[in-house]
Amino acid sequence: MKRESTTHGVKPEQLRRLFNIGWDTKKADRKENGSQHKAEMLCSSLSRTLPLDKSQIDMLSSKLGQLCHSIGLLAGETITDLLGNPSTDMSSVERIKRYSKELSAQAESKAQHEVATTIYYAAIAHALAFHGERITRFSYEQLEASFARLVKEKWIPKSLSSLFRTARKCCKEKAKS
């Protein structure tokens, strides 16, 4: 019995190129979906309120502490609000930095780690841009490089990118002096 060709005369090399085109498209789709996923995770993280510090909760009895924590989550400003407000006090900025460090340590995926790290650097950027304070041991040169990398990320919202640009400019000025 004679078998009919299923390739309709397409040569093996042509088939290989066709399959590679499809494979490259799938890789680009996966990369785009990864960026979209990180953008959604970052937006979700930034829309949360900052949890109470352990020291604040320890001062209260356990039931009252849980109640205050719940009330704080209902009534508090979001992390986005705190990072975007130039008059946010430094203790809140430090709390955001510590909170994001904890999130980073608990991250179960690379994307979660990148989101937590972005929030960490956003707190540092806020302190530099709005208070002129460096709240990290990283040098101004190291911070400038990190902010430059973060500004290029397409999944980071414009408000944070703008904060990173401002902080990067501060780092350049501080590094010169």
56 within some domain: no
Confidence of residue 77 (pLDDT cuts 50, 70, 90): confident
Question: What does the pLDDT average to over 139-150?
Answer: 97
Determine the structural domain holding residue 137 and report its residue range: 13-46+77-176
How far apart (Å, rounded) are the C-alpha atoms in residues 116 and 100? 5
User: In the chain, how many domains are there?
Assistant: 1
64 within some domain: no
**pLDDT given for residue 15 in this prediction:** 56
Does the pTM of the predicted model rise above 0.75? no
158 within some domain: yes
105 within some domain: yes
**pLDDT given for residue 30 in this prediction:** 47
18 within some domain: yes
How far apart (Å, rounded) are the C-alpha atoms in residues 99 and 10? 58
65 within some domain: no
Question: What does the pLDDT average to over 44-69?
Answer: 66
3 within some domain: no
152 within some domain: yes
